[in-house]
């Protein structure tokens, strides 16, 4: 009984260290088209309004090596070359967001990969309209403004790839009383 109690206390402590139960972190990149079109503020504002906490932020101009690490799962696919050309064409704004089931929440806000299919109200649906067919015809990447981690596991790996521990910050937001 005592051991069980100690274990529960330990796992509670671990959860608190991670920000509390069901609190996740996710990696977001505002891609070169979002930066160059002046949409960073608009997009960040959406995350702030829903109460997600920005715990890391930096503007980075990545090279082809970092692209291959980040999009490792896509290296070798037909579209990888155009994707790499797209992601290295200018700086990206890398963010780490924290909140309740943040991975799923941010994917919902981003919308599906193809802007044509992304509903109004999503980032990709509100700020782009191109299609896979158009990308194929013009031999371009799908310029869809944002990357968001797909799973909690992917998020952990991606955050480690983009941020050092001392670049991630712990602080309280005014939202926490209501949403955490
Ligand atoms: P991201 O990983 O950037 O968040 P995603 O998870 O919605 O996007 P993925 O399948 O991981 O989509 O593809 C990574 C990125 O590669 C897409 O966001 C898009 O920019 C580009 N891409 C994907 N499929 C194609 C394609 N068929 N043609 C051109 N570009 C593509
Ligand atoms: Mg992806």
pLDDT at 179: 65
Cβ(149) – ligand 1 distance below 6 Å: no
Residue from 74, 147, 169, 175 carrying the catalytic annotation = 147
Centroid of ligand 2 to alpha carbon of 19 (angstroms): 25
pLDDT at 177: 82
Inter-residue long-range contacts of 128-133, CB under 8 Å, 24+ positions, other chains counted = 128/33
pLDDT at 18: 55
Please name which ligand lies nearest the alpha carbon of 106: 1
pLDDT at 176: 83
User: 147 catalytic, yes or no?
Assistant: yes
Show the tokens assigned to 143.
Answer: 């310029």
The answer to whether the pTM exceeds 0.85 is yes
Centroid of ligand 2 to alpha carbon of 70 (angstroms): 9
- Provide the residue-wise pLDDT of the chain in tens; the chain has 180 residues: 444 444 444 433 433 445 678 999 999 999 999 999 999 999 999 999 999 999 999 999 999 999 999 999 999 999 999 999 999 999 999 999 999 999 999 999 999 999 999 999 999 999 999 999 999 999 999 999 999 999 999 999 999 999 999 999 999 998 888 766
| Strand intervals (E) in 68-155 | 92-100, 146-148
Counted residue by residue, the chain has a size of 180
The domain spans of the chain are: 22-179
Cβ(105) – ligand 1 distance below 6 Å: no
The closest alpha carbon to 71, from 138, 15, 149, belongs to 149
Q: Provide the 3-class DSSP secondary structure of residue 25.
A: strand
Cβ(27) – ligand 1 distance below 6 Å: no
Q: Provide the 3-class DSSP secondary structure of residue 67.
A: helix
- What distance in Å separates the CA atoms of residue 31 and residue 145, rounded to the nearest whole number? 5
The closest alpha carbon to 153, from 25, 14, 7, belongs to 25
By the 8 A CB rule, do 18 and 27 touch? no
Burial of 77 (0-12, 13-18, 19+ CB in 10 A): exposed
Q: CATH assignment of 22-179?
A: 3.30.70.141
- What distance in Å separates the CA atoms of residue 62 and residue 75, rounded to the nearest whole number? 16
Centroid of ligand 1 to alpha carbon of 113 (angstroms): 6
């Amino acid at each position: 009984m005592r051991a069980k109690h100690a274990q529960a206390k330990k796992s509670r402590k671990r959860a608190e260290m991670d920000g509390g139960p069901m609190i996740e972190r996710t990696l977001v990149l505002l891609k070169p088209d979002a930066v160059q079109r002046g949409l960073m503020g608009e997009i960040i504002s959406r995350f702030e309004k829903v109460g997600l906490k920005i715990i890391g932020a930096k503007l980075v101009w990545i090279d082809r090596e970092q692209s291959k690490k980040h999009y490792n799962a896509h290296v070798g696919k037909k579209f990888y070359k155009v994707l790499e050309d797209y992601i290295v064409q200018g700086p990206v704004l890398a963010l780490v967001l924290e909140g309740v089931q943040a991975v799923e929440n941010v994917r919902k806000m981003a919308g599906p990969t193809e802007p044509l299919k992304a509903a109004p109200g999503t980032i990709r649906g509100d700020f782009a309209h191109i299609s896979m067919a158009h990308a194929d015809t013009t031999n371009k990447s799908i310029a869809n403004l944002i990357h968001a981690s797909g799973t909690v596991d992917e998020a952990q790996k991606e955050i480690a790839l983009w941020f050092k521990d001392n670049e991630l910050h712990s602080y309280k937001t005014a939202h926490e009383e209501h949403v955490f």
